[in-house]
Structure 1
């Protein structure tokens, strides 16, 4: 019989030392065709990416999201934050997501997958839902990025509620949005790496 495991609670996580996040010096904003091509070439050198998307929040009942507005992909060294209003960026992002043979690891990706199919018309290939690995190991609830970082690294992953609910469709993303988006993907990469060793 599989042992049932629990992740640390909020209070226990709050006592842990902070997870070292990527700073702006290791985050690349991608919003032109040239930047997208450079990002594409750099990402193709890796066998896995941390992966997540962000969409402008909807607040009215029945309001449909036209997201994702941002795609973030990360390796161990750097994260790229693609703004998807530019058609060239969107085309490169679609190509990367449809690329087989490269693991795209993240948390809670069901909604992301549906929105990607809807917006890009491509099926993301080799998507790895990290929650399913923890479930197979006996964790009862969805682990999520905070729980995974606490379990694997004994560290506290900080997420800004303000950045999470900000307008991801803005032409200009703030520094806090870039740090938030990039580190969601970076933490997913680090979790994938730790589980793969």
Structure 2
């Protein structure tokens, strides 16, 4: 496999869309949050992401509305605007035996700590994790496109994440982001272990020397 260093938006626009096709479970109660975390705790690695209701008023912001945690086949959407950052979720984020994979995690955790203080452990930041493979791009959409040849839709990013009911398209969008983080991590782990990849070569520009002017 040849791993490209970067990719253009034009190239991505030509790619087929990808979306999470597993089971999505929306968590709206503390009891369900405990059950979901008990289930997720059986997995060695999880993809995570978060969503916040956008603010279109200068100086006004909202707390994190949603925390997505995904396995290969299941994604749980924890509605933090309804249940807060439950202790079970904090225990999961602080669990050193479970890998949590995401992109721009510093921003996610900074926002989550505005709800409750905690110290996350064993987290993989994909923007750093991809560097040894020669990938220069930092967006989830571009990294996924480089590795899998599919594009992630961003159509629901600025939708209302505190709506009474999350629409099917919102649920799929949220689940896809967390799930693709895990897919990227799993593939790169496999490539690292097998060595079945090469970095895209850097083609240096050819600079021709000007002919010396004859006297």
Aligned to 1:158: 153
Q: Which runs of 5+ in 2 are unaligned?
A: 191-215
User: Is the Cα–Cα contact under 8 Å of residues 64 and 81 in structure 2 kept in the other structure?
Assistant: no
Structure with bigger strand share is 2
Q: Provide TM-score, normalisation by structure 2.
A: 0.80
CA–CA distance in 2 between the matches of 1:95 and 1:170?
A: 27
Aligned to 2:55: 58
CA 1:14–1:186 in 2, change beyond 3 Å: closer, same or farther? Answer: same
Instruction: Measure how far apart 1:185 and its partner are.
Output: 0.2
CA–CA distance in 2 between the matches of 1:116 and 1:106?
A: 14
Q: How many equivalent residue pairs?
A: 187
Alignment of 1:114-193 (within 5 A): 114-142=110-138, 144-160=139-155, 163-193=156-186
CA–CA distance in 2 between the matches of 1:137 and 1:22?
A: 25
Q: Which runs of 4+ in 1 moved over 6 A?
A: none
Aligned to 1:42: 39
Instruction: Give the superposed CA RMSD.
Output: 1.8
Q: Tell me whether 1:22 sits opposite 2:20 in the alignment.
A: yes
Structure with bigger helix share is 1
CA–CA distance in 2 between the matches of 1:139 and 1:196?
A: 15
Alignment of 1:31-110 (within 5 A): 31-65=28-62, 67-87=63-83, 90-110=86-106
User: Is the Cα–Cα contact under 8 Å of residues 30 and 89 in structure 1 kept in the other structure?
Assistant: no
CA–CA distance in 1 between the matches of 2:104 and 2:35?
A: 28
User: Is the Cα–Cα contact under 8 Å of residues 74 and 80 in structure 1 kept in the other structure?
Assistant: yes
Which structure's CA Rg is the greater one? 2
Q: Which runs of 5+ in 1 are unaligned?
A: none
User: Is the Cα–Cα contact under 8 Å of residues 103 and 127 in structure 1 kept in the other structure?
Assistant: yes
Instruction: Measure how far apart 1:150 and its partner are.
Output: 1.3
SS in 2 for 1:178: helix
Q: Provide TM-score, normalisation by structure 1.
A: 0.86
SS in 2 for 1:69: strand
Deviations 1:39-82 (A, max 9, x none): 112101111110001111122222233x2110000001110000
Aligned to 2:12: 13
Instruction: Measure how far apart 1:171 and its partner are.
Output: 3.0
CA–CA distance in 2 between the matches of 1:105 and 1:133?
A: 10
